[in-house]
Chain A
Amino acid sequence: MNVENHEGENSSLANDGSSGGLSKSCCCGSVVKSALVIVALSSFLALTTNTLRSSGSIDLSRNYFRTLQAPVNPVQEQDSNGNNPEINSTANTGENISDQDTTSGQEEAQPDDGIQRLTFEDVHDHFMTAEEMVGMGESIVAFVDARVRDQYEEGHIPGALWLYHYESGDLIDALRPQLEMAFFIIVYCNGGDCEDSLYLAADLGSLYGLPPENIYVYEGGLNEWKERDMPVVTGSEAR
């Protein structure tokens, strides 16, 4: 077989496979060396690019998928705007108040991960409250959109603040005053299998020091919100 020797790693196999174990091991060694060079070069380029990247970089030390260790006690939840505390007590279960009597079995089906969840009906009530208070200049309900910027601009709940979970470290300081003022921080993403709202809710409580009892997740997300014909705002502004 006419085989040219173009690189060191080819040399032993170039002899038509008849050069014996020594040359084959040399070839394997050469391939392994080349592979290590490729991995080292890739790692260098990757880490350099990640460091120099102005946005969208990955913080190697950050846990992006944080979960809470202990459930939030619903009894301690604040009820500052005079809402019926039953709403809060059902928040963890995600059940409607009207269904409360029959949901003891379903309550156990809710994940016991310390994240307070809200149903559409609960979120709707809070949204109406928030809309009424817009004119008064107060904001005790804060909607937080955990999705990427493009999705936020394509449509979000009116008044929702953009706080992309994976870049929340850079964004949180600008939003902190509004979030600290709110007694109901309702975090959402698209819904369905989207988990970013859960991770952001966990981070808001444990990483950014906001009161965990004020933080809720709307698991139905924007998909359910739109399915229920609720208003949506497009563009970069909250309203």
Chain B
Amino acid sequence: MDALKRLDATGVPLLLARIVVGFVFLSYGIEKVSDPLAFLKSIKNYDLLPLEPTWFINSIAVILPFTEIVCGLALLSGIGLRAGGAITSLMLMAFTPAVYLLGNSLVGTTAEFDSLCKVIADCGCGSGEIPICNKLLENCGMLILSLWATFSMSGKFRGGLST
């Protein structure tokens, strides 16, 4: 724990978390905003959300990309840093099992997809078609960084309005 506190006090992990998670969420959010209908299809393909009432899944497809953009900006700017980190953490906690389930459902559907790590799919995350295992690793790494941004007590590299 002491080592973690010392590491946190340097502010480097927080800076890394802000830049990496902020940039990734910002870019993925912009990608989704550019084609909300494609994102709606991606959400539906997970078969995890109810299709009735219709406004529910439609609203998620409309609002979620903007939430990602605002959270990305919060992390990059430092304004609302903890809240941005908390929301991205919650999103990653929801998305990661969903991506796992999607990948798992595709195992065995083609000759190439004989195991989870050989499945290549578009998870609708904004990253295009990538190996599911890579996506899961990416999400786990970003979850750690998001949690760090949420709970970090470092005063360095926090950004925000004051100096």
Query: Hey, which bits of chain A sit against chain B, CB under 8 A?
Result: 1-4, 6-7, 9-10, 13-14, 16-17, 31-35, 37-39, 41-43, 45-47, 49-50, 56-65, 166-167, 196
Contact = CB atoms under 8 A, between A and B. Distances in A.
Contacts of B159: 6
B76 to A, nearest CB: 13
B70 A41 contact: yes
A27 B162 CA distance: 18
B58 A59 contact: yes
Interface in B113-158: 150-151, 153-155, 158
A45 B64 CA distance: 11
Interface residues of B, number: 44
Contact of B67 (A39, A62, A63): A39
A10 B150 CA distance: 10
Contact of A42 (B67, B81, B151): B67
B36 A50 contact: yes
A3 B155 contact: yes
A84 B155 CA distance: 80
Given A38-B71, A62-B54, 7 more contacts: A38-B70, A38-B80, A38-B83, A41-B70, A57-B36, A58-B36, A166-B41
B61 A58 contact: yes
A42 B154 contact: no
B54 A61 contact: yes
Given A37-B80, A45-B66, A64-B40, A3 B61 contact: no
10 contacts: A7-B161, A13-B153, A39-B87, A42-B69, A46-B65, A50-B36, A50-B62, A56-B37, A63-B54, A167-B37
Contacts of A41: 70
B33 interface: yes
B63 A62 contact: no
B24 interface: no
A17 B151 CA distance: 11
B70 A42 contact: yes
Given A7-B80, A38-B80, A56 B70 contact: no
B79 interface: yes
Contacts of A49: 33, 66
Contact of B155 (A4, A166, A196): A4
B162 to A, nearest CB: 5
A11 to B, nearest CB: 11
A2 B10 CA distance: 11
A35 B83 contact: yes
B82 A47 contact: no
Contacts of A59: 58
Interface in B44-63: 44, 51-52, 54-55, 58-59, 61-63
Contacts of B78: 6-7
Contacts of A31: 82-83, 86, 150
B35 A56 contact: yes
A61 B55 contact: yes
Contacts of B81: 7, 9
B103 interface: no
Contacts of A56: 35-37
